[in-house]
Amino acid sequence: METRGVEKWLERLENTEGVGLTGIIQKLNELTASDESSANQLAEVILKDSSLTTQVIRVANSVHFNPSNTAITTVSRAIFHIGFNTIKSICVSIKVLETLLQEKPSSQLVQVIASSLHGAIQARNLCQKLNSSRKEEVFVTSMLFNLAETLVLTTDESTAREYEENVNLLTSRADKELLAEKHLGVGFTRLGLGLAQRWKLGGLLIESLKPSSKPSEQAQAVILGERISYAAKKGWNSPEFRELLKDLTKFTGLSIKELHKQVMDSANEAAEVAARYGNKELIRQIPSSKDKNGVSLDDLFDESNLLNPNQDLQLKIMQDLTSMIMEGGDMNAIFQTILEGLNRGVGLERVVLAIFDKNREFLQTKYALGKNTEDWRSRFRFRFEKREGSYFYQVFREATALKSVFGGSGKLTPPAEIKAITGVNEFLIAPLAVAEKHIGIIYADLGVSHRSLDDKYVSGFKHFAQQANVSLAVLATRPKR
């Protein structure tokens, strides 16, 4: 039976990739909405997604965000360098593009996504008087402005194909509404409002889709960004674009000449962003004032599925750690960077920092990185017994990083409860202590690929474990603020 009408389409879209996409957007929104959220919490969300981590680091090192060309090698540094809210908008754009452009997207889907990205950057750059948080809220809302249409186009529904056959690059938003009503039984504005409410995508998106007679400045920016994106498809010298410039001058207070430059700069920025985030077709769909072929697109998609040791990256992260310690960095940020070094530098697929609870009876997870570690905060928790023969007590007695093997011949035999949680036969573990006081442990394994932990992994793990203990020792000597 064909899908028609708002309720049927809302039900159908509950089973698309959009649900997972909105899940991470909600998580990012929760972090940025809370005054108590920290850069470490944002880094933890990003580091759980290896593709997102790679893209964030890549964008942080781009000329746009890093004109000084100072190497940024960790997510923690990227957040510090670029800013909490900007990193959030980068993450949203990455996930939107990654989710919707997977497999073989149709040309119409690519066009709509390109239009959303272009409009989002234009909208954000129109808001010169707003603070960073509100600017990035405009960007995220603009990226989701056409969410209903993009999700419909990802489905295999016959009604979606009928709609797609009747639209093209220059079909106006009003005409798309009429075509959607005809073929889908619901317009994209109504469907978008339903998604925004059901998936809790924010009040600004709802306001932008259905603006009042006096919309907020943010909603006006979202709508104007969308209009710029559409007018640009008709040409920078088209009557539509020239007419739009008049509305833009009223909104910004800038002269026509100043506005023209700003819009051109934003279009170029959108083209650069598309080259870094999207597929090879995406960049061709964004009108830019300059040649788009300067970026080697092939280089952007050559990603290895497996983590491997990277000596250069290990060295850079070690240098970052030294700088953080010398600058009196936050202990949480330092440990986050150490785990990132173990994960991305040493190539260890799953890493955990576990510390003692208040009663010093259990070692429990504080941070966990890697695939399928989402529930380790509650599950990776082990009783500590201060007695001979107790595994964790012996780990602290050894006072060095160790490789533990189930059924091995070593003097330390790990408890079966570790294997029950991790599913691996071997892992690396190191004690954390300062002034003979036990703090916790660092755990790492190759539990995704189940490869063997050879010497290069053991050596890299030992170096970062040593750095962790040095960091603790240095920070312990500093007076408390």
Q: Supply the pLDDT for residue 78.
A: 87
Q: How many residues does the chain have?
A: 481
Q: Supply the pLDDT for residue 293.
A: 36
Q: Supply the pLDDT for residue 280.
A: 63
Q: Supply the pLDDT for residue 300.
A: 32
Q: Supply the pLDDT for residue 299.
A: 36
What count of Cα atoms within 13 Å lies in the side-chain half-sphere of residue 252?
Answer: 25
* Stretch 375-385: mean pLDDT: 90
CA distances from 417 to 194, 234, 368 (A): 46, 64, 18
Report pLDDT digits (tens) over 453-465.
Answer: 989 999 999 999 9
pTM for the whole structure: 0.59
- Mean pLDDT is lowest, of 26-30, 41-45, 68-72, 374-378, for 26-30
Strand partners, 437: 434
- Mean pLDDT is lowest, of 5-14, 54-63, 271-280, 347-356, for 271-280
Equal fold, 6-301 vs 311-476: no
Q: Supply the pLDDT for residue 175.
A: 93
Look-up of token digits 């800013």: 83
pLDDT at 341 over 90: yes
Please answer whether residues 198 and 10 qualify as being in contact, where contact means their C-beta atoms are separated by less than 8 angstroms: yes
Report pLDDT digits (tens) over 17-50.
Answer: 666 666 777 677 666 555 555 677 888 888 877 7
pLDDT at 134 over 80: yes
Report pLDDT digits (tens) over 409-458.
Answer: 566 788 888 988 888 889 999 999 988 889 999 999 998 887 889 899 99
* Residue type for position 142: S
* Stretch 110-127: mean pLDDT: 93
Report pLDDT digits (tens) over 153-167.
Answer: 988 899 999 999 998
pLDDT at 63 over 60: yes
pLDDT at 282 over 70: yes
Measured in degrees and rounded to the nearest 5, phi and psi for residue 105 equal -70, 150
- Residue 371 CA to residue 351 CA, distance in Å, equals 10
Higher pLDDT, 294 or 376: 376
Q: Supply the pLDDT for residue 301.
A: 33
| CATH code linked to domain 6-301 | 1.10.3210.10
* Residue type for position 127: C
Q: How confident is the model at residue 77 (pLDDT cuts 50, 70, 90)?
A: confident
Report pLDDT digits (tens) over 230-261.
Answer: 998 888 877 888 889 889 999 999 888 888 88
pLDDT at 103 over 90: no
Closest CA to 320 of 49, 19, 76, 137: 76
Report pLDDT digits (tens) over 179-212.
Answer: 999 999 999 999 999 998 988 888 899 999 999 8
Q: Provide the angle, in degrees to the nearest 10, between the axes of the packed helices 147-154 and 107-126.
A: 160
pLDDT at 378 over 50: yes
Cα dihedral 336→337→342→343 (10° resolution) = 70
Q: How confident is the model at residue 330 (pLDDT cuts 50, 70, 90)?
A: confident
* Stretch 172-176: mean pLDDT: 90
Q: Where are the domains of the chain?
A: 6-301, 311-476
Q: Supply the pLDDT for residue 215.
A: 93
Please answer whether residues 341 and 314 qualify as being in contact, where contact means their C-beta atoms are separated by less than 8 angstroms: yes
| CATH code linked to domain 311-476 | 3.30.450.40
Q: Supply the pLDDT for residue 137.
A: 86
Report pLDDT digits (tens) over 283-316.
Answer: 778 876 543 333 332 333 333 457 889 999 999 9
Instruction: Provide the mean pLDDT of the chain.
Output: 84
